[in-house]
Amino acid sequence: MALQHASSGQVIALQRSGEDGSQFSSIALAKTDEIELIRLVLPAGKTMPEHWVKGEVTLQCLSGEIAIDAHGRTSTLHGGEMLYLAGATPHALKAVADSVALLTIVLKS
């Protein structure tokens, strides 16, 4: 079964009350030829090893605390903060606390 993405104009809940943060339940929210939007749910201690994507990336922390290793340093995002990465920038993530984030990837430049 194909993943159902949001359609233009559809309201999307990014944070859900009563959600079990101990489960890694990320979901692709929308995808076009130009962008992909992903809701990341990262329980405390969850890591994503170093990787990169071709397009530019923004990571907006909605709640919790996420450490991002990029450009030879570690930056920490808290709820309400975001980080931009140029395309092909190697990066790794670690959830310092149960976290929810919105990841945007530009697929075409």
What confidence tens digit (pLDDT) does each residue in 73-109 have?
Answer: 999 999 999 999 999 999 999 999 999 999 999 997 6
**89 domain-assigned:** yes
Note the pLDDT tens digit of each residue in 41-75. 999 999 999 999 999 999 999 999 999 999 999 99
pLDDT higher for 67 or 9? Answer: 67
**84 domain-assigned:** yes
**45 domain-assigned:** yes
CATH number at residue 53: 2.60.120.10
What gap in Å lies between CA 106 and CA 108, rounded to an integer? 6
**49 domain-assigned:** yes
Average per-residue pLDDT in the chain?
88
**12 domain-assigned:** no
Q: State the residue range of the domain holding 38.
A: 27-106
What gap in Å lies between CA 66 and CA 76, rounded to an integer? 6
Q: What is the pTM of this model?
A: 0.84
User: Who's near 15: CB < 8 A, 6+ residues apart?
Assistant: 62, 63, 100
Q: What is the pLDDT of residue 16?
A: 62
**41 domain-assigned:** yes
Q: What is 64-75 written as a DSSP string?
A: EEEEEEETTEEE
What gap in Å lies between CA 94 and CA 61, rounded to an integer? 12
**13 domain-assigned:** no
pLDDT band, very low/low/confident/very high, at 12 (cuts 50, 70, 90)? confident
Give the total number of structural domains in the chain.
1
**4 domain-assigned:** no
Note the pLDDT tens digit of each residue in 24-38. 578 888 999 999 999
